[in-house]
Amino acid sequence: MKVTIKIPLLASGLLALSGLAQAAQVNLYTTREPVLIQPLLKEFTESSGIKVNTVFIKDGLLERVKAEGRRSPADVMLTVDFGNLVDLVEADLTQRVNSKVLNNAIPANLRAANGHWYALSMRARAVYASKERTPLNAIHYEDLANPQWKGKICIRSGSHPYNTALIAAYIAHHGEKAAETWLRGVKANLARPASGGDRDVARDILGKICDIGVANTYYVGTMRNGNAEQQRWGNAINVVLPRFKNGGTHVNVSGAVVAKHAPNRKEAVQLLEFLASDQAQAMYAQSGYEYPVKPGVKIDPIIASFGKLDIDSLRLSEIARHRKAANLLVDKVQFNH
């Protein structure tokens, strides 16, 4: 009798444990700031019932997943800069996703043609201009090398991924020789060595060190809604969306891939599809002052005040092909010295 009682209890216990082990979950490795991504993940879990186990990694995402190999628990890797996404693909750490939801939501130039990575939000590489000294309504990237700006431009290191991507885009449009000439011209126009961050560009415009600078759009939202000091920086500038003379405005992205050995592939794809939804795209716009990748989603009023964003039609994967050449040019012209 005792045996017949214990067996069903043991069986039911094993079933319960099995049910817990099989609860829907997805493992996310990300380099994004927790404050930016956690609200999105919370919404995903509430709407889908899928738990997100998040590992925040400041540096070395690729190296970590590579070292973990087939045993890696990573399902999704989410990072900033399309170069980092391409690096993950080239390291053979990703797998193809064939999702109609993603392909319909995200324009072709903002995702890999083979489905190995998808952009989820954008930031434009813009020009900040002094409200006080420099009325500026339009400018081309090519114009940054014009001698009229001699001693008037601020920018962060040319080796930073934001600027490497811009230089790579210039190469994609005009070729390496023209890009070298342009980069030498931009260097000749610098008001100070290429250094610091994008917010420092606004700070130095306010401080009359430079009149214009190159920086990302989303920083303006963070400055104008930041502390008193940063509000002064953000309010000292107007933002102009430059274009290439034979193209549109250069953008960089945050984006995601599904890991090659993802143990929860189905849930990984569901997470990506949620992040491309109207709800999540609106949250990207509101919490991070970024541009949604999905057309038609409302953007933050501060970002909207810069005018219509006409995105360069070059595929990001095409620009990525020129990153090495861009880095070599930065060194060749000694842009940071």
> Under 8 Å CB-to-CB from 218, ≥6 apart: which residues?
123, 288, 289, 290, 303
Q: Please, are residues 185 and 140 in contact by the beta-carbon 8 Å criterion? A: no
| Strand, coil or helix: 111 | strand
Query: Cα–Cα distance between 92 and 86 in angstroms, integer?
Result: 10
- Residue corresponding to tokens 């060190």: 209
Return the amino acid letter for 113.
A
- Angstrom CA distances, 324 to 165, 171, 197, 317, stand at 10, 11, 22, 13
Residue 167, Cβ neighbours under 10 Å: how many? 27
Helices (H), the chain: 2-21, 34-48, 61-68, 82-90, 100-105, 161-174, 176-188, 198-206, 218-224, 228-235, 265-275, 278-288, 301-304, 316-320, 323-332
Residue 218 among known ligand-binding residues? yes
User: Cα separations (Å) of 294 from 77, 99, 121, 184, 291?
Assistant: 20, 15, 8, 36, 9
Is position 219 annotated in a ligand binding site?
A: yes
Name the 3-class secondary structure at 249: strand
Amino acid (1-letter code) at residue 315:
R
- Asked whether the beta carbons of 280 and 196 are under 8 A apart, the reply is no
> CA angle at residue 317 from 313 to 321, to 5 degrees?
115
* Count helices and strands in the chain by DSSP H and E runs: 15, 10
> From the annotation, which residues make up the binding site?
218-219
> From the annotation, which residues make up the binding site for Fe cation?
218-219
